[in-house]
Amino acid sequence: MATRFLTLLALGFAGAQAYQFQAQKRQALAGESCLALSKLLINQTGYSQYVHYYTDIPELTSFTMQYWFNLNKNFRSATTFNYALDEEVNTDNVTLQLHQGEHLHSPSHWTLHINGILVVRVESPPVLAGEWHHMVHSWDSTQGEWSIFMDGRLLGSGYSKEGRGLVIPAGGIAVSGQHQNTAQFSGMDQGEGIEGWFTLFNMVSRPLFHPKSARTLALVARIARECSPNAAYGDVISWSSTPRKGYGGIMETPAFPVCGRF
């Protein structure tokens, strides 16, 4: 992954056992100081499982997120990121979800909600068990521009008039692996959680502009090819430095810094 998430993209709950994940440990490798890479195993057995990022989320009018995930069940829907200012009345301040049908020919799609408003819905190839996939999601409120990339390729882009001018409030709770809703299941919607592996989540406060341009396509392809935690950086959430805590028996294990073979 490029240095400091490509220099900020070239400027362009209760009832579950918690595990505190330490900051990524530095270890000597080939005479250099490097970060050890880890991945999370989220299986949703017994309790709702998710990871909570312990950081102060600022007010946002744009962002770019990127991560790797690998589901352990075919045609499983999943919430890869959820941010809520008030988890008791979750208005989906930011929610990224993969929706899948029950068989190979069922339509699959990604959705993005901002402040409870659906701003993105784009078709996706089915995500099958055992496949690692790299995702990049970008959104900007100025023009409502959005884009989604899967495995280094543009999955969809456009402009959402519903997303224009929206402001994501500061001070909420950011999680991966589940959708917050304290009305049931100790704060999480059990049917919408990730079942599988998850790693290298980073979030920056700047969008990707001109998603169809050769420069942006090359940039995203480069990000998808570079999986060392040394270069991973997000000014909002960083996999290498933001403290995080796992709930419900989630496990963190060592990972190889090899894209798609973690």
CATH at 185: 2.60.120.200
How far is 22 from 60, CA to CA, in rounded Å? 27
How many domains are there within the chain? 1
Token readout for 72 is 């352990």
User: Which residue type occupies 32?
Assistant: E
Residues of the domain holding 173: 4-12+39-241
In order along its 262 residues, the chain shows pLDDT tens digits of 444 555 445 444 233 445 555 444 433 333 334 578 999 999 887 678 899 999 999 999 999 999 999 999 888 889 999 999 875 556 789 999 999 987 777 789 999 999 999 999 999 999 999 999 999 999 999 999 999 999 999 999 999 999 999 999 999 999 999 988 643 444 445 557 899 999 999 999 999 999 999 999 999 999 999 998 776 689 999 999 999 999 988 999 999 999 999 9
Nearest Cα residue to 244 out of 13, 21, 14:
21
Q: Is 1 helix (H, G, I), strand (E, B) or coil?
A: coil
Q: Domain for residue 22, yes or no?
A: no
In a domain? residue 150: yes
Residue 20 falls inside a structural domain: no
**Domain-located, residue 26:** no
Report if residue 24 sits inside a domain: no
The 3-state secondary structure of 82-105 reads EEECCHHHCCCCEEEEEECCCCCC
Q: Measured between alpha carbons, how far is 95 from 118 in angstroms, rounded to an integer?
A: 9
Beta bridge partners of 20: 245
Q: How far apart are CA 198 and CA 154, in angstroms?
A: 21
Residue 224 resides in a domain: yes
Number of CB atoms found within 10 A of residue 225's CB: 13
What H or E segment, with its residue span, contains residue 183? none
Whether 163 is covered by a domain: the verdict is yes
On whether residue 70 sits in a domain, the answer given is yes
